[in-house]
Amino acid sequence: MQDATRRAKAALISTTEPNAARVADFLYGGQSNFEADRKAARALAAAAPAIVEIAPAVRAFQRRALTYLVAEARVTQFLDIGFGLPLVGATHHVAQTLVPEARVAYVDSDPMVLSHARALLKSAPGGAVGYVDADVREPDAIVSGARQILDFSRPIGVLLLFTLAYIQDTAQAAMVVSLLMASAPPGSYFVMYHLAADLDPALEEAARQWNKMMPLQPITPRSHADVASLMTGLELVRPGLVPVTEWRPAADDPQLERAIPIYAAVARKR
């Protein structure tokens, strides 16, 4: 039954219309994209030039945040929701380099992403990598699937990297975070980055173009206050909610020419 469902979803993949995961893949320097995706990415970068530097900035943040969780918070389990493409630098690559027994549950609903993940993402010996076919708006399905991979009696790092921008209603996005973190035990962490509505005026035009080109996958940039409201009840790890390059920068971070219109944060469940 699962194989039949996967085949049915795979049949819906269009190579002539841009897809959010594949557009991001092109911007990240990946190979899993088509001309429609590349054309869309170039249009977005023309509208907001900072877009071309988002990929290295958020990859560096992801590495720093995971290093903090493993080395300082002693978290070895991760729930990565909406992990997308490309797969190089994925959560388990970083985490299992630091601690080989790390366990990662990946969640996505894009059939191309899941197909690539099942074929290419392999765990280090002693650890575990698994996949859940679910949408970010389905926290119950996410947690149910993740329980097959993760031990919910021990702290978990819940990652929503860009993903909440796909939920247009801020209250609904906050509820998703609340429900996911309610399922995680005390001592768990929430990691996020989110498109900023108030750091680069050009991003508004880029978002408008994105939503026109990909109406089934619209995005919603948010202000600092709105992004902060998504983490109500969680304890922010210093330096709090800041532009992505300002969250515990490291000496080996890429040198970027522009300010990056992305907010980032790590928060703890007491």
Token pair for 255 = 């040198």
> Which residue type sits at 136?
V
> Do residues 264 and 247 lie in contact, with contact meaning Cβ atoms separated by under 8 Å?
yes
Output the CA torsion sign for 197, 175, 131, 98.
Answer: positive
Q: What is the CA radius of gyration of the chain?
A: 17
Q: How far is CA 51 from CA 17, 18, 45, 67, 195, in A?
A: 20, 17, 5, 25, 10
Which pLDDT score is estimated for 11? 47
| Fold of the 52-199+219-268 domain | Rossmann fold (3.40.50)
- What phi-psi label fits residue 26: left (phi over 0), alpha (psi between -120 and 50 degrees) or beta? alpha
Which pLDDT score is estimated for 87? 56
Give the Cα separation of 201 and 156 in Å (integer): 36
Which pLDDT score is estimated for 257? 87
Q: Are strands 157-161 and 128-133 parallel, antiparallel or unpaired?
A: unpaired
Give the Cα separation of 8 and 135 in Å (integer): 17
Question: Exposed, middle or buried, 166 (CB in 10 Å: 0-12/13-18/19+)?
Answer: middle
Which pLDDT score is estimated for 155? 98
Cα separation of the two ends of the chain: 40
Please state the domain extents for the chain: 52-199+219-268
Q: Are strands 103-108 and 128-133 parallel, antiparallel or unpaired?
A: parallel
Token pair for 53 = 């530097």
Give the Cα separation of 167 and 217 in Å (integer): 9
Short-list 67, 136, 138, CA closest to 102? 67
Which pLDDT score is estimated for 97? 94
- Which residues in the chain come in under a pLDDT of 70? 1-13, 85-89, 120
Q: What are residue 235's DSSP bridge partners? A: 268
Give the Cα separation of 140 and 159 in Å (integer): 16
Token pair for 198 = 């108030």
